[in-house]
Structure formats: C-alpha cells, structure tokens
A and B are shown apart, each in its own frame.
Chain A
Amino acid sequence: MAKIIGGVTTSHIPAVGNAISQGLTQEHYWKRFFDGYKPVKAWLKENKPDVIIIVYNDHGLNFFLDKSPTFAIGCADKYHNADEGWGLKPAAPFTGDAEFSWHLAESLIEQEFDLCTCQEMLVDHGFVNPVRVLFDDHEVWPIKTIPLVVNTVQHPLPSAKRCFKLGVALKKAIESYPENLKVVVAGTGGLSHQLQGERAGIIDVDYDLACMESIINDPAWFYSQSNTEIMEKAGTEGIEGIMWLVMRGAMGDQVNCLHKHYHAPISNTGAGVLLLENADDSHS
C-alpha cells in the first residue's frame, strides 16, 4: 500500500525561482534561506520518495478568474510550466501519475471533497518553486509529482479547518492505494505577507512562529481561526498558510519535527520550512 513517509512545508515565492536561475543562492540575501533547506534535501535523497503531492494555489496560469475551483487535482501523466507573464524560461515538464491521481480523486470525492479533476494542468511558480528548492533543477525530475490546488486567490476561500479536513481525507485516500509508493505531501505558500494595499509589506514573525509550532504540535490552534483572523495577522496573501494544514491533516495525530527553519524577509514574506514524519515511524 502507499505510505506517507513525510510532510514538508515551504514558501513558493517567485523571487526564489529567480534566485536559483540567476545563481544567487549563496549571496548574503539568500544564503540563510537556501541553506535552511539542506537537511530536507538530504532527507529526501536518503528516503527517496516516489511521489510528492504539492498543495499550492494557482496565481492565474492554469485557472483564470472565470472558473475558480475551491479544490482541484491534476490527473495527468505530464504537467507543463509556462510563461506567467514575466517572460521566464519554463521549467522542464513534470511527470505525473494519472492512476494514483484518479484514485485520490475517487477517494476524496467519496469522502465528500468534491474537487475539480484536471486532465491538463499548467503548473505555476506555486508548484514549480517548491520542487526546485527541494530537488534542485533537472531536465528530468527525480520524482513524480501531483498538483493539488487550493483557491487562496478569489474569496470565498475554504476555511483553515476545511483544509485540515481535506488533509485527513487525503491521508485515507493515499493509504488506500494498492501500489507500494512512498509519498511526501508538501504544503506550500505563506507565511505572513501582504502584497496589496497601503498595508503591503507586513511580516509578523511572532505569528509565523506560532503557526509553525501549531502545525507541529497543535494544528487545532491554527485551524480554529477564521480566514479574517488569519488575514488580520498574516496579511491577505499570508492566508496561503491554510495550505500547510492540508499537509498536516495528512499526517498522523502525533508527528516528529525533523527540521524547522524560518527566515525573513524573502521579498515581502516570512518563509518557513518544516520536515515532519509520523511519530509512529520514528526510528529514534
């Protein structure tokens, strides 16, 4: 059966992709941020997951505002990156796993998460940058990927609690797949940032750290907040943190934190990295 061997969180800031492309990762501004991923990268190399499910929001590449699904899953064998309007070279195509995706879709819909199934899906920086930062750049990526999109752009958005419950359902879906796959779930985006309005530029370090501790030990603290409460603290774009709760819901009740890292600012954003494994799987 498929098994979740770990949960990861990471920001997906566009500037991170630019820094990789321009070879700036060891410059002063970036070094501490990128170095903070090294233990996660080493763990991924050692544990060799077969599939990573990237939970992210599309920023206007695959979905325009004419059709805005609350939850959507890629159900294809290939996913392409494309120009998001910035004229950058697209990343190499990503390999999917259509059989696994359709199983997840069936199971999730049976569990009353009526998500949108996508046989074609362009993946934007929200998906691409987490993969790049965790696996480095490749022409042929060393892992299969499944995009799981959450609407954090056009309100009404799903609640934090709903995202957590999606994760709980995702765990059941993954663990009922008959192939022996090693799966990692990545919750991406956040942490605190607001790009728009006179309030642009807020970063709340205390709130970000509270969210990270909550993700590890007490997800109820995070998911009991309304989206308005989260936006008041984390900013309108910081609401992306609700996607970390999808990952957390997919983990067991008790987790071991193998790595945690926080850095600010990256562009306008507080950036957090977590690597979790289920407490039952602990070797220590």
Chain B
Amino acid sequence: MVWKTHEYDKIAGTYVFDGQRAHGSYALNRLFYSFNEDICRKAFDANPESYCKNFGLDQKQTEMVVKQDFLGILRAGANIYYMAKFCIPRGLSIQDAGAAFQGISSEDFKGKLLKKRIGLEDRLEKEGGYWNG
C-alpha cells in the first residue's frame, strides 16, 4: 500500500490538495467545515482543546490549531479554503495566512502583490484590445 507520487509534487512551496492530503487531514478539515455554523465557532472559542478532541484531532494537530500555526496546519494537510473558515472569523485574512506561510509580515506580503499593478496599464496597452478605463 503506497501513495502514488505526482508530477505536481515537484512544485516548490506548494501542497496540492489530493487524496493523500485529504485522507490524512480529514478530521482537521471536518473541524474547519463545522465553522460554517456560528454556534460551532462559539463552541470552539469557548474551549478549543475540547472541541478539537470531539472532532478526533490528535495531540499535534490540536496544538497547531490552538496556536494558529498556519504553515503547520497546511503541512498537516488542511485545505486552504477550509483554513479560511478558521482564519477569517479570528480577524485574520487569507493574506495574513499567506504571510505566515512565508514568514514575512502581512504588509510585506500585500506590498509584493501590489507591485503587480505597476506598469499594468502599459502592459495591456501593448497587448491591445483591453479596456483600460
């Protein structure tokens, strides 16, 4: 019994959410999915450790969730869209999580993205046919 390897495993800094990841992190993602319900978000906040235990998380996963160790949670197999259900009610954006993955500040992460705007209109002008305001 082996997990098959994939071409996409070679993409650096990337955790493609496939069967292997989904299998190992099922309890974790199920816990995050429960946060669609406000009552579950409140129950978690009232006692995170006990909530994690009820969802069958192991000790290591529980510690990562309680400490909000985003890269650890991601490496443990969590899906990013399910992580968003954990981050956003806590006042953290998916960009804050992105910054945490890279070990940089949220300002630096957003700054790098904003640089994509520089010269964009000229680039589109060159391409031709784009609406440019």
Contacts and interface: CB of A to CB of B under 8 A. Distances in A.
Contacts of B112: 201
Contacts of B123: 205, 209
Interface in A183-200: 194-200
B130 to A, nearest CB: 6
Interface residues of A, number: 51
Contact of B101 (A66, A200, A262, A265): A200
Given A205-B116, A264-B117, A85 B30 contact: no
Contact of A154 (B13, B17, B36, B95): B17
Contacts, number: 153
Interface in B74-100: 74, 79-86, 88-89, 94-95, 97-98
A85 B113 contact: no
Secondary structure of the A contact surface, majority rule: loop
Contact of B81 (A60, A197, A200, A262): A60
Which range contains the number of B residues in contact with the other chain? 35 or more
B6 interface: yes
12 contacts: A36-B133, A60-B32, A60-B81, A84-B85, A85-B84, A85-B86, A86-B88, A87-B89, A205-B123, A209-B124, A263-B120, A264-B120
Given A85-B85, A153-B79, A264-B120, A198 B8 contact: no
A227 B8 contact: yes
A265 B89 contact: no
A236 B74 CA distance: 13
Contacts of B32: 60, 85
A61 interface: yes
A144 interface: no
A284 B68 CA distance: 57
Contacts of B97: 195, 200
Contacts of B22: 65, 154
Contact of B6 (A35, A195, A228, A265): A228
Interface stretch (A42-50, A107-115, A244-252, A253-261): A253-261
Most chain B beta-carbon contacts within 10 A, residue among A156, A268, A273: A268
B15 A197 contact: yes
A270 interface: yes
Interface of B: 6-8, 11-19, 22, 26, 29-30, 32-33, 35-38, 41, 71, 74, 79-86, 88-89, 94-95, 97-98, 101-102, 109, 112-114, 116-117, 120, 123-124, 127, 129-131, 133
Contact of A82 (B36, B83, B117): B36
Nearest to A206: B123
Contacts of A236: 14-17, 80
B18 A265 contact: no
A228 B11 contact: yes
Contacts of B41: 85, 87
Given A60-B81, A84-B85, 13 more contacts: A60-B32, A83-B37, A85-B88, A195-B80, A195-B98, A197-B14, A197-B15, A201-B109, A205-B123, A228-B7, A236-B14, A259-B131, A268-B98
